[in-house]
Amino acid sequence: MNKPKEDTTHRATNPGDRIADEPQTIEEKSQQLAVDHVPDITGDRITVPTYFVVEEDGEKKALHHVKDAEEISDVIRQARVDENGNRIW
């Protein structure tokens, strides 16, 4: 007896974690949410973007929150704050 074929390509991933098969603009990527207003362990409701948009050498770049997590961490480490409390990258 044959079982029907299932599409198991993204079975273990959160739908918000998926990377689209077709190319997307930076603007389209910046609108995607991996987690939208979901309670965390503290009860606070959180929203997590699928992509973090950063500017590198004058060029905008969309970093995927899972695939590019190490690079996102590097960008955060490089962040600085000026004397007025404004973040300088």
Confidence of residue 85 (pLDDT cuts 50, 70, 90): confident
What is the phi-psi region of residue 85: left when phi exceeds 0, alpha when psi lies from -120 to 50, beta otherwise? left
Among residues 63, 61, 33, 67, the alpha carbon closest in space to that of 48 is found at: 33
Amino acid sitting at position 89:
W
Amino acid sitting at position 62:
A
Q: Say what the pTM is.
A: 0.69
Structure tokens at 9: 């390509």
- The predicted pLDDT at position 28 comes to 95
What torsion do the CA atoms of 18, 19, 24, 29 make, to the nearest 10 degrees? 60
Give tens-digit pLDDT for 14-60: 777 888 889 999 999 999 998 888 888 998 999 989 999 999 889 99
- The predicted pLDDT at position 81 comes to 74
